[in-house]
Amino acid sequence: MRLIDERDTTFSRMALVEGSDRYREYYGRYPELEARDREVRNVPMTGPLSRMKPDACFDDVPDRLAAIEHFVDGNVAMLFASMEMVEKAPVSTRKIAIAPDEITPIIKKVALYYGADIVGIVKMQDEHFYTHCGRSMGGEYGEPVDKSLRYAIVLAVEMNKEMINRAPHIDEILATDRGYRDIALAGCGLAIYLKSIGYRAFLNTFGSYSAPLVRLARDAGLGQIGRHGMLVTTKYGSRVRLGAVMTDLPLLLDEQIDFGLLDFCMRCDICATSCIGNAISKGQAIDDDGQIRWGFEDASCMEVWKRVGTDCGICLACCPFSHNVQEDLINSIKGNSAVIDRIIADSHMRLGKRPKPKPIHGVR
């Protein structure tokens, strides 16, 4: 599996300041990325609200836009405060000795009790971690990532379907914002619990990462990775927000699942044809160091985010699995193109086809 350096992520690259040592060092290594990254970096951030139509939820809030802006800002402040609280909480010196088969079901129950909708556990290999810190609060830029906590309890929370369906409008970013809050609260509860029984814990979410979450979630058995590069779960599709709690408490592991998504995405290109940034490959999958995936233009996706003023989310809204495909159909996807075509046709019938996206100004 290809190693991932957090400095290569779009967020880290967009944060580079032209003329700085860090900038020179990075684009000295990757000169081919500089021109396109500069173009996207220079697109002014439209702001989450200024281009949004106040037409959906929270209609009863007077001065709705201002209210929502404070809502999002307040949530972000609360997230950072919660994560800091977890980091500072001491690990109890009264360590409980308990076998993995006894503690694992308890840990899963604690995670669900605190608000997770899906939980899985994976033993972290070196390739699960970022190689180096790129933007996280957890470490200095360019430092090797701390790999000392090897068990990851991976959590997913559902995001509101009606709000996600309004992507790329403001309702989508509110659902995302709520998803981050829910995952952080579940993760904080679980991390504090682990510390209280004498084990270390690190909450890996929202700006504080030692490992990319989509791979972790796949390897913990939460779902598979789709054409759009995100997790697809059988229950909520891509309408999930992810987080993980890393710990040194030995736990029983979950296995990857395979409900046939690879076959499905080979026949379905709804996310790719709906993407207003042309960021998702409409072509064949590629073998990336043993991982089958589709090409993705991360800078083009980021440009859309900056121009529309939300984190877009069209690709996760339009994925058929985000609309509760019947369980018996999901169970018969593997090797069955007739079932795949039926689900795709049903999705078009229920949701309609998004109009062919007009290129938005500046996006290639």
Contact positions toward ligand SF4, by CB under 6 A?
226-228, 232, 264-265, 268-271, 275-277, 279-280, 301, 304, 312-315, 319-321
With beta carbons less than 8 A apart as the criterion, state whether 219 and 212 touch: no
Least spacing, CB of residue 230 vs ligand SF4, in Å: 7
CA distance 278 to 228: 11
Select 115 or 313, whichever has its Cβ closest to ligand SF4: 313
Select 152 or 275, whichever has its Cβ closest to ligand SF4: 275
CA distance 225 to 218: 7
Select 131 or 324, whichever has its Cβ closest to ligand SF4: 324
Least spacing, CB of residue 245 vs ligand SF4, in Å: 26
Least spacing, CB of residue 351 vs ligand SF4, in Å: 11
User: Could you tell me which residues are beta bridge partners of residue 204?
Assistant: 244
CA distance 121 to 153: 5
CA distance 57 to 81: 27
Give the pairing type, strands 224-225 and 231-232.
Answer: antiparallel
CA distance 207 to 135: 7
Crossing angle of helices 170-196 and 64-88, in 10° steps, is 20
Stated as kind and residue range, the H or E segment containing 267 is helix 261-267
Select 137 or 345, whichever has its Cβ closest to ligand SF4: 345
Of the candidates 209, 300, 291, 223, the residue with the CA atom closest to the CA atom of residue 255? 223
Select 242 or 276, whichever has its Cβ closest to ligand SF4: 276
Least spacing, CB of residue 322 vs ligand SF4, in Å: 8
Least spacing, CB of residue 164 vs ligand SF4, in Å: 11
Least spacing, CB of residue 61 vs ligand SF4, in Å: 27
Least spacing, CB of residue 22 vs ligand SF4, in Å: 26
Strands in 134-265 per DSSP E: 151-158, 201-204, 224-225, 231-232, 240-247
Residue 166 token pair:
């309004």
Select 129 or 321, whichever has its Cβ closest to ligand SF4: 321
Select 128 or 239, whichever has its Cβ closest to ligand SF4: 239
